[in-house]
Amino acid sequence: MKTIKVAISVCMIMMIMIVSVGCGGKAQTSNDKASSTKNNGVEKEKSSKDKHYDIKIGMWGSADYGKDEIAEYLNDKFNVTLSFEDFSWADYLQKLNVAASSGALPDMFAHPAWSNVDSRTTFFQWTKQQVIRPLPEDLSAYKNISALMENFEFLKRDGAHYMLPRIAWQPENAFVSQAIWVRKDWMENVGITKAPTNSEELYELLKAFTYDDPDGNGKDDTYGITKGGEDLWVLNMFQIEDANWIKEDGKFIPGMISKKNIDAIKYLRRLYEEGIIDPDYTTIKAEQGMDKFISGKVGAIANTSEAYHFKENLVDKMMKVNSEWGPEVVDILPPVGTEYGDPITNSFDNYWSGTLFNSSMDDDKMKRCLEIYDFLLSEEGLELGRFGLEGKHFEMDGDKYKSLLPIDPDTNLPKSLTLEQPTAGIKTLVTWDVDGRWLEPSMPERCVELEKKAHDLVVPYERDIDPRVRYVSTPAVDSMQILDVYREMLYKGFMSKTNVEEHFNAYLQDVLKNYKVQEAIDEFNAEAKKQGIK
């Protein structure tokens, strides 16, 4: 025996641009192109403003932006010099807080804002203290922004918008936050070819991955599942949404205090005590968990399930570990239910995070920033971010985009545009463009298949809720921060031998009394009643 060492209700967004390209056709919109610039570089018009501006943009992964042909194209088009402040996922919130206090924020920058419970309080403070600048009340000069924001009235603070949401999907699709990736070849090796349909069958599969030598090396060196993006894979089994408000016993409560957490802890404890779950689960980061999955140490991991993530992990990394592995040996498991019934998937609107604007900018500089943003949302802007400049980075082959970039010898596909022209990644300032990545010539078809399968398996379990539930704002609701306390409770609960009910109830009394959770519940329910949210 092995020794034990120690999600979707989508608010579908109508954007100005609707992709109708299938597997590579060109997008069509009703965009007014009268003042746009051709991607082939033959026709160029500068911004209508004569004054030159230096504009700093803060984004994740932008260290190499601003030094290539796409940057030159944008600089010339808008009479600006773009520079970029690279954000690290590990400490960007702290650095932005320091920059805000010293007046050194970028001109426009990505921020979780409304999206994360633990970042909303700062966002609200910035709006009140005028650290960030509101959008103009009249957005008619920016057709793409105006069309986008028609769907986000509920995001206003004190009657104004302070954030432009970064869209995830086109409206005909839906946002899949997370699904369970599984080694399909391991399932075959342990004699399980049918995907689990309930929590008990999932337990049996993970147990077989642990004890039935799924990799065939004759060693007792594998585990069933490890830490991925979050713990939603087990919480959603028990109909728990940790960071959202849910209705239980007739009132809205934070999912983090739902009594269903008791059964989730018991399930995790069973996996832990039997040595099925990675013993490092509670201490490692998501990237370390993915490394274990990639290197063949575990058979399953819950992770964001987009084509880009499959390519990054299964092609760019896994195949370097073993050339016979890759996207073909991985499959997606359907969500499984429990005695409570069907699972749920975590509810998100069709965006994550937004772009904020530094209040120190004057009106003309703000207009220039909005011009750039509006362009990036347009058909031409998306084409630039997806494929680059026509005649330099792509050419049209009928209605399909043909890459002119060098071939990657490892995949025999064209190299990714962002490797050759990093500033193409600026499109993620306005949209994550998840399904737009399906169109990239460098994207392996199997990675697209896995994303679409995750979509088809997960979306049917989305909760149909009023989107206003996630945006109720009161003093106590805005200041309630118990996510870290909740995670500590969850992990200690399944790693210890204490009575689970007693452990959870002690945590419950603590947060109700000492973290103003009871005040938040009272205020939330009063505001929900006032707004008619049921």
Encode pLDDT of 351-363 as tens digits: 889 999 999 999 9
Cβ-contact 507, 489 below 8 angstroms = yes
Specify the residue for token string 């997606």: 332
pLDDT at 21 over 60: no
Q: Which domains does the chain have, with CATH numbers?
A: 53-173+349-433 (3.40.190.10), 179-344 (3.40.190.10)
Sign of CA dihedral 39, 54, 423, 430: negative
Q: Both tokens of residue 107? A: 């001109």
Find out whether 412 and 146 touch, Cβ atoms under 8 Å. no
- Write down the pTM of the prediction: 0.75
pLDDT in tens, 381-392: 999 999 999 999
160-174, 297-311, 371-385, 420-434: least confidently modelled range: 160-174
Question: What integer pLDDT is reported at residue 346 of this predicted model?
Answer: 67
> Which of 212-216, 235-239, 375-379, 457-461 is the least confident region?
457-461
Instruction: Give the number of other Cβ atoms within 10 Å of residue 475's Cβ.
Output: 12
Residue 202 has pLDDT above 80, yes or no: yes
Contact 99, 105 (CB under 8 A): yes
Q: Decide if 62 contacts 84 (C-beta within 8 A).
A: yes
- Which of 33-47, 173-187, 484-498 shows the lowest mean pLDDT across its residues? 33-47
Report whether 75 contacts 373 (CB < 8 A): no
Give me the half-sphere count of Cα atoms (radius 13 Å) on the Cβ side of residue 320: 9
Q: Which of 249-253, 391-395, 405-409, 411-415 has the lowest mean pLDDT?
A: 411-415
pLDDT of residue 24: 35
**Average pLDDT, stretch 482-486?**
92
For residue 154, with 0-12 CB atoms within 10 Å meaning exposed, 13-18 middle and 19 or more buried, which class applies? middle
How far from each other are the two terminal CA atoms of the chain, in whole angstroms? 51
Share of the chain above pLDDT 70, in %: 88
Each residue's pLDDT tens digit, 68-80: 999 999 999 999 9
Q: Which DSSP helix (H) or strand (E) runs through 283? A: none
pLDDT at 4 (0 to 100): 36
- Cβ neighbours, 10 Å, residue 112: 18
Q: Which of 30-34, 116-120, 230-234, 276-280 has the lowest mean pLDDT?
A: 30-34
Over residues 122-137, the mean pLDDT reads: 94
pLDDT of residue 29: 33
CA distance 355 to 267: 39
- Across the chain, what does the average pLDDT equal? 87
